[in-house]
Amino acid sequence: MLLHIPGIFSQEEASSIRQTLEQADWADGKATAGYQSALAKHNLQLPQDSELANSISSLMLPRIWKNPLFYSAALPSKVFPPLYNCYTGGGNFGYHIDNAIRPIRNSPEQVRTDLSATVFFSDPASYDGGELVIQDTYGEQRIKLAAGDMVLYPGTSLHKVLPVTKGARIASFFWIQSMVREDSQRTMLFEMDQAIQMLTLDHPDHPSLLRLTGTYHNLLRRWAIT
């Protein structure tokens, strides 16, 4: 399932973050890539121990965890500390699949990358190229979202970032370990949860609500790994 989640940050907030990041000391993005990915990766990245990265993440993570659309779709167990990258001057990242397990720096914890996420900070009109291209069951999807918006997609997806030929594409990316590791099961639960919410608004006293909600939780109980 590929999902657009709007408004993690307002456009004004995203613009302020982007301006701060433009002044950052960037490093070669290959530092956090595996061997195969490093061959295809041509971008800049904020060092993982950067105080600026930690400061932005402290604003972003609570919003993500509390976002009802994100929670319904991801059913998160763990979220990898966000990373930050910049594509400019032809920077790109060829087709790749993210590593299945990501160790958290300076921690014994690891995150299974069931889902991948990107939060955009640059106005899409401010740069040319830079689309996130994701191969899914419906073919090739090209993603270039408004500043402050997030895209969520399966970590198993083959994906790439097209060359940025003008301006700069600044974004955050990270991974989520879900309580439900199979994408098809998460998709079914997400669609059921959204239907329950709509039914609750339109027909709060409908007798089927209790049974449908019970079925949702019984499926979650069966599939969840905690």
Annotated binding site: 96, 98, 159, 169
User: How would DSSP label each residue in 165-204?
Assistant: EESEEEEEEEEEEESS--HHHHHHHHHHHHHHHHHHHH-T
CA-CA distance, 178 to 111, in Å (whole number)? 9
CA-CA distance, 192 to 156, in Å (whole number)? 23
Percent helix, percent strand, percent coil in the chain, to nearest 5 = 35, 30, 30
Query: Which residue numbers belong to the known binding site for Fe cation?
Result: 96, 98, 159
Cα distance between the two ends of the chain = 21
Query: Which residue numbers belong to the known binding site for 2-oxoglutarate?
Result: 169
Neighbours of 177 (CB within 10 A): 23
Neighbours of 217 (CB within 10 A): 11
Q: Could you give the angle at the alpha carbon of 163 between the alpha carbons of 160 and 169, nearest 5°? A: 90
